[in-house]
Chain A
Amino acid sequence: MRKSDSLKGIRKVFNRDDPQMPIIIVLLIIVAVLSIILAIGLGPVSIAPGTVAQIIGSRIPFIENDILPTWTNVEENIVWGLRFPRVLLGMIVGASLSMTGVAMQALVRNHLADPFILGVSSGAAATATLGMLFGVFSFLGVYSLSISAFLGAAITIILVYTISRVRGRINITQLLLSGVALSMIMDAITRIITLSAPNALGLHNVTFWLSGSLAGTKWGYLTLPFVVIIICMVILLVNHRALNALLMGDETAGTLGFNVGRLQKILVLVSSLMAGTTIAVSGTIGFIGLMVPHFTRLLIGSDHKRVLPVCALIGGILVVWVDVAARLVIAPEELPLGILTAIFGGPIFIWLLKRNTGK
């Protein structure tokens, strides 16, 4: 009896007709915070969630003096120096990839769009490797890596979009095939660059770009992707009506008063910015941008005003937990994160593809 009551409660909050957005957002934020604390504690050396919370609390202004240190220096180093930035980066990367997925799906009007599937990640990785090994973009300073990844992402999105646009419409076959072809070309470029690399560092890095990982995250990695997702979230939310209208078709969006040409440029820019800055710090992590928006829409419908914040939170939580799995599965060794997301994301992609063509 009680079980069916709680089920009804859940139905009432998560339904596509009239989802209770404030409750959903608060719930997801709570889950996100709990996930962060739990995930920090988990790894080859595990630390109790209470200790994790205390260590973090001791760094927060105003309450820092109320918390007495009961933990060891090693624990503090693991929590603050290693895992906290890593877990936070996981949140950011997950949110960023999910939002990139949403933006690209609106751009090409198809739910199969994802930065990994359409070769955008590979494009970003190729130019990032180029920048890293030869210093091609070193004149851009500290952000040279992110900016070079952004350029690669932008070039690939524009290429895929142009190739798959036939008579003003996106052709789904051309879209997926051009994505596959471009990601192969870009991966090949990445390999050529790393094999002809002037130093041995290259060999290590190519595996990072091709399989994705959050290992070795430093605090400094967080700033740029964080700033970028906040800005892009605002831009996308401000344009949520336009994004909804765009799903009705380019022409219809135009007749509803939107400047479609400008909107498409914004979407290309926003997607490449998020994909580029994310991939620069995490390598290519596939299928997050495909799966998360899809399940978000199943939960709360397609209105972008709701989809964007919810999918950012769900994406962040998902990547944090997949990263925990990556640390634990073959501990003390680590699995690359991108390999894990591919193992369960791949089948979901195939399922979506079958369902799509069945219609």
Chain B
Amino acid sequence: MKLQVENLSFAYDHKPILEDISLNVTKGEFIGLIGPNGSGKSTILKNLYRALKPDSGEVKLDGRNLFRLSHKQAATQIGVVSQEDVLPFDFKVEEIVAMGRSPYKKIFDGDSQKDKEIVRNALACLGMEDMAKREFLHLSGGEKQRVLIARVIAQETDFLILDEPTNHLDIGYQLQIFDFVKHLNATVLTAIHDLNIAALYCDRIYVLKNGRIFKTGTPEEVLTPEIISDVYGIEADVRTHPITNKITITFLPHSINYN
């Protein structure tokens, strides 16, 4: 078991945000977290990458208590792409990717040849070799997100936590980013906004509603019209797509007449 979360609860200003969350991720799995806005997707992830501290519950990474690890140890095991703050100063793409090497650096270490190699490879992975010297703030949204993925690749962790990594990106970039991540063959836990994307990439899905886990299972088990209606309050038609053999969801808004 890669990650094991048991009975995790978290409250903000005495208002419970997460209640009794239990989930687990096996090595090599691609796990999605879905749920409406405010259902607690980001908050769970923040508790797992230690930006927030749970009020109760247990989190184990490879069988060890996650909160006992030092910051550095945790950073060599979990790579995170969170929803970013705006960067106040401009950095070069390669400088951002090189930040992924930080957890391996001792106080007086410089950037070694090996680090530079890893940074180059990470950029090459995403087809961005020729962008190494570009200014980060001048990149498009999709390119920025690829740089951040390159940063976690350089971090060389085998477990990735992603918080809606394709938020605000158009569909081409969404698929591109998830394809990259899928190719890494890492263990992945990611919050996903788009149900069809979740159906395409995830091995298993956790559905959240009001800070609790509402349902869990494979996309086929979880993305049913009943559950979508219960969680999102909308009608949907769910089929297996003949080409992808994956679930595909068509939403049926009330304002349109159907035969």
Q: Tell me whether B46 and A251 are in contact (CB under 8 A).
A: yes
Tell me the B21-62 residues at the A interface (CB within 8 Å): 46, 49-51
In the bound complex, residues from chain A placing their C-beta under 8 Å from that of B74 are 255, 257
* Neighbour of B71 across the interface among A18, A241, A257, A303, CB < 8 A: A257
- Is A301 part of the contact surface with B, judged by Cβ < 8 Å? yes
- Is A254 part of the contact surface with B, judged by Cβ < 8 Å? yes
- Is A191 part of the contact surface with B, judged by Cβ < 8 Å? no
In the bound complex, residues from chain B placing their C-beta under 8 Å from that of A83 are none
Q: Tell me whether A256 and B103 are in contact (CB under 8 A).
A: yes
Q: Tell me whether A257 and B89 are in contact (CB under 8 A).
A: no
In the bound complex, residues from chain B placing their C-beta under 8 Å from that of A252 are 80, 82, 84-85
With both chains docked as a complex, state the minimum distance between the C-beta of B32 and any C-beta of chain A, in angstroms: 20
Query: With A and B bound together, what is the CA distance between A255 and B108 in angstroms?
Result: 21
A301 and B46 in contact (CB under 8 A), knowing A244-B99, A245-B102, A258-B102? no
Query: With A and B bound together, what is the CA distance between A270 and B46 in angstroms?
Result: 29
- Is A297 part of the contact surface with B, judged by Cβ < 8 Å? yes
A-B CB contacts (within 8 Å), total count: 87
In the bound complex, residues from chain A placing their C-beta under 8 Å from that of B85 are 109, 169, 248-249, 251-252
With both chains docked as a complex, state the minimum distance between the C-beta of A290 and any C-beta of chain B, in angstroms: 14
With both chains docked as a complex, state the minimum distance between the C-beta of A298 and any C-beta of chain B, in angstroms: 10
* Neighbour of A303 across the interface among B95, B102, B135, CB < 8 A: B95
Q: Tell me whether A241 and B82 are in contact (CB under 8 A).
A: no
Proximity bits, A301-313, B CB within 8 Å = 1, else 0: 1110000000000
- Is B91 part of the contact surface with A, judged by Cβ < 8 Å? yes
Q: Tell me whether B90 and A256 are in contact (CB under 8 A).
A: no
Q: Tell me whether B108 and A238 are in contact (CB under 8 A).
A: yes
Interface residues contributed by chain A, number (CB under 8 Å):
29
In the bound complex, residues from chain A placing their C-beta under 8 Å from that of B107 are 238
Q: Tell me whether A301 and B108 are in contact (CB under 8 A).
A: no
In the bound complex, residues from chain A placing their C-beta under 8 Å from that of B51 are 250-251, 254-255
Q: Tell me whether A17 and B88 are in contact (CB under 8 A).
A: no
In the bound complex, residues from chain B placing their C-beta under 8 Å from that of A249 are 82, 84-85
A248 and B95 in contact (CB under 8 A), knowing A238-B107, A257-B102? no
* Other contacts beyond A244-B91, A258-B71: 12, CB < 8 A: A17-B133, A238-B108, A241-B102, A248-B87, A248-B99, A249-B82, A251-B49, A255-B78, A256-B100, A256-B155, A301-B92, A301-B95
List 27 interface pairs A-B (beta carbons < 8 Å), by A numbering.
Answer: A16-B135, A169-B85, A245-B99, A248-B84, A248-B87, A248-B96, A249-B84, A249-B85, A251-B46, A252-B80, A254-B49, A254-B50, A255-B49, A255-B75, A255-B78, A256-B103, A256-B155, A257-B72, A257-B102, A258-B71, A258-B102, A297-B90, A301-B90, A301-B95, A302-B89, A302-B90, A303-B95
In the A-B complex, the 5 residue pairs with the closest CB atoms: A257-B75, A257-B103, A249-B85, A255-B80, A302-B89
> Which residue numbers of A lie inside 8 Å of B, CB to CB?
16-18, 105, 109-111, 169, 238, 241-242, 244-245, 247-252, 254-259, 297, 301-303
> Which residue numbers of B lie inside 8 Å of A, CB to CB?
46, 49-51, 71-72, 74-76, 78-80, 82, 84-85, 87-92, 95-96, 99-100, 102-103, 105, 107-108, 133, 135, 155
